[in-house]
Chain A
Amino acid sequence: MITFENVTKKFPLGNIALENISFSIEDNEFIFLVGPSGAGKTTILKLILKEINPSEGSILIDDLDITSKKFFNILSLRQNLGVVFQDFKIIYEKNVLENVAMSLLVLEKYSLPQIKEKVREALVIVGLKDKEKFFPIQLSAGELQRVAIARAIVGERKIILADEPTGNLDPKTTWEIMKIFKKIEGKKTIIFATHNADIVNSFQKRVLILKDGKLIKDLRKGKYQL
């Protein structure tokens, strides 16, 4: 469970990215974060990743206050998070299998055969089982995003943070990517930041609507509305 309690994030130059935001996300829940650019969607994801710290308020993940001064276990926190970015963040010197395997190798607890097995399972989910030896340069944008999703879902990462993962994709590819999210829905907590009204409306999931750093609506089975 993820809980934001009166979270405010101010940047050094004084601009307020988030203002007094509170919400909770249940385990295995699928939620959309929507809002115009600068509304604070990415800031929420960065706060969960502990890339930045809030100026005020606290964030609890499974009852653990990750904003506390006594919290040092960033590695353990991040090892439970899978991240999908708009620009894919794929390593071009590594093939598909190696890119996805990075997510498991950093855990330093699996043997190479175990890693290969788990990576192949993830590649089956994203529909790339025959392309494990392909290098990124040989793949389309949609396929690159599938690799990134496979990297996020492989292993036991419980929370998937997707920061506008379809932002760079054409409508057809976007729907193919969303089908993958549909497949993992209910198995992991998914926080999906997007501008795409069609996606939000078709999924009929909980929607957190942000504007100017404020949470203006929290809708169950919501629709994209600004």
Chain B
Amino acid sequence: MREFFISIKRTPFQSAASFLVLFFSLFLTLFLLFSLAFSEGLLSYLETRPQITAYFEPKTNENEIFKIRDELNSSGKILSIKYINQKQAFEIYKKMNKDNPLLLEMVSAEILPPSLEIYAKKPIFLPEIAEYLKKQPSVEEVQFQKDILDRLLNLTSILRKIALGFFIYLFLMTTAVLITVTHFKTALKKDEIELLALLGASSFYIRKPFLKESFFMALFASIFSFSLALLTLFYFQPFLNSYFQGISSLVLNIFNFSLTVWPINWVFLAVIFSLSSFFGIFVSLFSTFLATKKYL
């Protein structure tokens, strides 16, 4: 650490340039990581919602509904169907409006429609299933979420591509700036590096102080950028609360690992911090390695 602070003292402008470029890149990286996490979480959330909901006339006979359910099941295009009777619908309604007694007083189970919540095996089957349901005389309304899902899927895919492009750009920009700055630093120590080589120092021994410095620089930059991102996130918390109103949680599924991204929690923040720190440290060490190669 002593060497790190001495180096900053001796080359304050080069050190400031390294720190600022790392700070800027990591702050943008964090912004992208948060955006990706929320959009992917929202996508997963919507994918778990019923893809088609068919509402029946309140007085429809259950056998008629079961007949339609069985016909759909036998089509081979259905992943699962859940029947919600009037009592269950009323329970759901009560849960959703527990804070509004006036609405609860006005509604009873008899006036709520029974429904079928349908999940198709493939999104391509959804229009066909919706069309079939619309033709049934007892079906009052068909809610079809394909458009919303498709739009979100499209948006997430675009966001993923933009994020990837942006990451590559940030990586190249940061690497180029850090290589240039480290070149300045190594040029200032050219005599010492050449002398160490003549004394029989290994390449790693000569690189070690530069690598140590870049490691600490990246670590400090990631701590500062994460702190700023955290403050920004907490500042916008009321907006996020209203945006995700009614959504109890957003979960990201990566391989066999489930990560809750909403409500914001410490595990999620720790993962984001680790990812951005890893990115910062990797870029910093990689650039230093390339920059010091010149004299070794």
Chain A residues with CB under 8 Å of chain B are 49, 51, 74-81, 83, 89, 91, 93, 102-103, 106-108, 151
B200 to A78, Cβ gap below 8 A?
yes
How many chain B residues touch A (Cβ–Cβ < 8 Å)? 12
A102 to B196, Cβ gap below 8 A?
yes
B205 to A106, Cβ gap below 8 A?
yes
A75 to B192, Cβ gap below 8 A?
no
The prevalent SS among residues of A at the interface is: mixed
A93 to B10, Cβ gap below 8 A?
yes
Q: What's the Cα separation between A151 and B205 when bound, in Å?
A: 18
Residue of A whose beta carbon sits closest to that of B201: A106
Which of chain B's residues have a CB closer than 8 A to the CB of A74? 200
B191 to A107, Cβ gap below 8 A?
no
Shortest A186–chain B CB gap in Å is 24
Among residues 162 to 206 in chain B, which have CB atoms less than 8 Å away from a CB atom of chain A? 191-192, 195-202, 205
Residue of A whose beta carbon sits closest to that of B6: A93
Q: What's the Cα separation between A49 and B198 when bound, in Å?
A: 7
Shortest B203–chain A CB gap in Å is 9
Q: What's the Cα separation between A188 and B10 when bound, in Å?
A: 38
A89 to B199, Cβ gap below 8 A?
no
Residue of B whose beta carbon sits closest to that of A81: B200
Count of CB-CB pairs between chains A and B under 8 Å: 38
Which of chain B's residues have a CB closer than 8 A to the CB of A78? 197-200
Residue of A whose beta carbon sits closest to that of B198: A83
Which of chain A's residues have a CB closer than 8 A to the CB of B198? 49, 51, 78, 83
A75 to B202, Cβ gap below 8 A?
yes
Which of chain A's residues have a CB closer than 8 A to the CB of B197? 78
Shortest B28–chain A CB gap in Å is 36
A76's partner among B192, B200, B201 (CB-CB below 8 A) is: B200
6 CB-based A-B contacts, threshold 8 Å = A74-B200, A89-B191, A102-B195, A106-B196, A106-B205, A108-B205
Q: What's the Cα separation between A83 and B197 when bound, in Å?
A: 12
B199 to A106, Cβ gap below 8 A?
yes
A103 to B199, Cβ gap below 8 A?
yes
Known A78-B200, A89-B191, A102-B196; further 4 A-B contacts with Cβ < 8 A: A74-B200, A81-B200, A102-B199, A106-B199
A107 to B200, Cβ gap below 8 A?
yes
Residue of A whose beta carbon sits closest to that of B195: A89
Residue of B whose beta carbon sits closest to that of A108: B205
A75 to B200, Cβ gap below 8 A?
yes
Q: What's the Cα separation between A91 and B192 when bound, in Å?
A: 6
Which of chain A's residues have a CB closer than 8 A to the CB of B202? 75, 106, 108
Which of chain B's residues have a CB closer than 8 A to the CB of A80? 200
Shortest B248–chain A CB gap in Å is 57
Residue of A whose beta carbon sits closest to that of B192: A91
- The interface bits of chain B over 236-258 (1 if a CB of A lies within 8 angstroms of the residue's CB, else 0) are 00000000000000000000000
